[in-house]
């Protein structure tokens, strides 16, 4: 079939007439590059960071060591910045995971991702089945459940997507899920419609972040409180007054900027947010020892857990009652709820109401911890 190419392809470098510089320059350059890289790599912290409790025989120790070494090489950050800048300047791209829209807006690629309609639908069905499970488990404890389905940022702000287009198969996802939750007898107000109606008041999602703004969180909290009052008019929540003040100085924010490692002043600039703080006003209703009973629990993701958005505070103010925050960031909506259902807090002091925040962007994801 073939003959060895060494018989037909000779090394130019061995032949007479080859410029002298080719006889030494590549070799010298490689040595210089490797020696410099070795000096930088082997003196880095990662090189001295030897893993503990890892199996050597199965290669796990080596893999862990190598991962640490890669993360610790001193040229990694400049390399990330160099390639980030190059890709942004030449192609207007962020690193994989974020998309650069128009007008300085960034979006997470999670809001565009689809596997296929069958697999995605199956995952959404699993989420719905879990909603039913949660509803029943809480009902057994005498607690009501309300779900806050947070619409995707792309859905609320499609006008800044630039050339990107969210796949059409996702068009009905928000409404379908919300209606399915409602059909289970669990109230799930249409936050998308409400947020769209309030866009004129200011940004409801952070331009350079995956999350909502404190204003978006407040509008959602007000809507949820209204739904609670309409759905369970006799629900007797211990009355506590709260008021919210915003920080005078704005705070720069934007988790999506991590995907755009650019020199200062270049590319979309971090959005600014006035971080609100909610505090109790006056005396609480008081329990046996003067502490107010907490009858509302908030379970959810980073939308609820990150203090800067003040969703918890906005709920306290809107519901006129204290709220226990059991949200856990970075694990999707299912894992924190599973943890809460197993928690001592639920057993010892079951609330009257549980607010479960489920962002639309997590509906098709299954976190590894969910199966545990």
Partner 1 sequence: MVFSSNIFLFAFLPVFLALYYLLPFKARSAWILLGSYALYAWWRLDFLWLLAGVTLAAYFFALAINQAVGPRRFQLLSVGVTLNLLVLAYFKYANFGIDSFNAAITAVGLQPFTWTPVLLPIGLSFFIFHAISYLVDVYRKEEPPTRNLLDFAAFIALFPHLIAGPVLKYNLLADQFRTRTHTLEKFSYGATRFMTGFAKKVLIADTIAPLVTASFGHANPTLADSWLGALAYTLQLYFDFSGYSDMAIGLAAMMGFKFPENFNHPYISRSITEFWRRWHMSLSSWLREYLYIGLGGNRKGRTRTYINLFLTMLLGGLWHGANWTFVLWGAWHGGILAVERRLKEASLWKPSPAWLTIPGTMLLVIVGWVMFRADNVPDALRMYRGMLGLNGVSLSDTLAWQVRPSELVTMLLAGVLVYVAPWWGRTVGDVGGRLLRPRLAVTATTVLLPLFVLAILKLSAQSYTPFLYFQF
Applying the rule CB under 8 A, the residues between 168 and 187 that interact with partner 1 are: 168-169
Question: Any catalytic annotation for residue 302?
Answer: yes
- Closest CB to partner 1 among residues 56, 349: 56
- Helix, strand or coil for residue 10? coil
What letter would DSSP give residue 212? B
Closer to partner 1 by Cβ: residue 5 or 200: 5
The stretch near partner 1 (CB under 8 A) out of 115-123, 128-136, 213-221, 349-357 is: 115-123
Q: Which is it for the CA torsion 97, 305, 155, 159, positive or negative? A: negative
Which secondary structure element, helix H or strand E, spans residue 42, and what is its range?
A: helix 20-42
Closest CA to 154 of 190, 195, 219, 108: 108
**Contact between 53 and partner 1 (CB under 8 A)?**
no
Return the number of the residue (5 or 289) whose C-beta is nearest partner 1: 5
Please identify which residue in 19, 233, 290, 368 interacts with partner 1, judged by CB under 8 A.
19
Check residue 147 and give left, alpha or beta (phi > 0: left; psi -120 to 50: alpha).
beta
Enter the DSSP assignment of 59.
T
Alpha-carbon torsion angle 263, 268, 270, 273, nearest 10: 170
Q: Which of residues 61-100 bind partner 1 (CB under 8 A)?
A: 62, 66-67, 69-71, 73, 75-76, 78-80, 82-84, 87, 90-93, 96, 99
Per CB under 8 A, does 50 bind partner 1? Answer: no
Residues 6+ apart with CB under 8 A from 215: 198, 201, 202, 203, 204
Binding of residue 117 to partner 1 (CB under 8 A): yes
Residue 255's CB: how many other CB atoms inside 10 A?
Answer: 16
Selected range binding partner 1 among 114-122, 288-296, 335-343, 353-361, rule: CB under 8 A:
114-122
Q: Rounded to the nearest whole angstrom, what is the least distance from the CB of residue 201 to partner 1 in the complex?
A: 29
Which listed residue (211, 308, 322, 328) is catalytic? 211
Considering only residues 48, 56, 122, 197, which one is a binding residue for partner 1 as defined by CB under 8 A? 56
Q: Does 348 engage in binding with partner 1 (CB under 8 A)?
A: no
Instruction: Using alpha carbons, select from 327, 334, 278, 320 the residue that is nearest to residue 298.
Output: 327
User: What positions carry a catalytic annotation?
Assistant: 209, 211, 302
């Amino acid at each position: 079939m073939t003959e060895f190419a060494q018989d037909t392809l000779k090394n130019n470098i061995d032949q007479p007439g080859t410029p002298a510089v080719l006889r030494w320059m590549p070799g010298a350059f490689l040595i210089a590059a490797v020696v410099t890289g070795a000096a930088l790599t082997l003196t880095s912290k990662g090189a001295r960071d030897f893993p503990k409790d890892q199996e050597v025989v199965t290669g796990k120790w080596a893999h862990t060591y190598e991962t640490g070494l890669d993360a610790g090489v001193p040229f990694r950050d400049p390399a990330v910045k160099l390639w980030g800048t190059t890709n942004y300047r030449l192609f207007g791209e962020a690193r994989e995971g974020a998309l650069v829209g128009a007008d300085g807006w960034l979006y997470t690629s999670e809001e565009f991702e689809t596997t296929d309609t069958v697999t995605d639908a199956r995952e959404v069905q699993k989420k719905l089945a879990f909603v039913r499970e949660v509803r029943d488990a809480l009902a057994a404890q005498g607690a009501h459940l309300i779900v806050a389905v947070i619409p995707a940022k792309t859905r609320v702000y499609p006008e800044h997507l630039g050339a990107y287009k969210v796949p059409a198969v996702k068009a009905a996802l928000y409404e379908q899920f919300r209606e399915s939750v409602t059909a289970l007898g669990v109230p799930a107000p249409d936050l998308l419609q409400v947020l769209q109606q309030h866009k004129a008041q200011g940004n409801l999602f952070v331009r350079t972040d995956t999350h909502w703004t404190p204003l978006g969180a407040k509008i959602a909290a007000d809507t949820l409180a209204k739904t609670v009052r309409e759905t369970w008019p006799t629900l007797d929540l211990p009355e506590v007054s709260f008021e919210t003040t915003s920080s005078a100085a704005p705070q720069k924010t934007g988790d999506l900027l991590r995907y755009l490692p650019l020199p200062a002043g270049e590319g979309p600039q971090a959005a600014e947010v006035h971080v609100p703080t909610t505090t109790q006003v006056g005396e609480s209703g008081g329990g046996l020892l003067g502490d107010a009973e907490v009858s509302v629990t908030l379970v959810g993701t980073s939308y609820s857990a990150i203090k800067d958005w003040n969703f918890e505070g906005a709920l306290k103010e809107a519901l006129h009652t204290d709220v226990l925050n059991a949200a856990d960031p970075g694990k999707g909506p299912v894992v924190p709820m599973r943890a809460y259902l197993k928690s001592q807090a639920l057993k010892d002091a079951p609330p009257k109401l549980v607010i479960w925040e489920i962002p639309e962007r997590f509906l098709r994801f299954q976190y590894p911890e969910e199966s545990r």
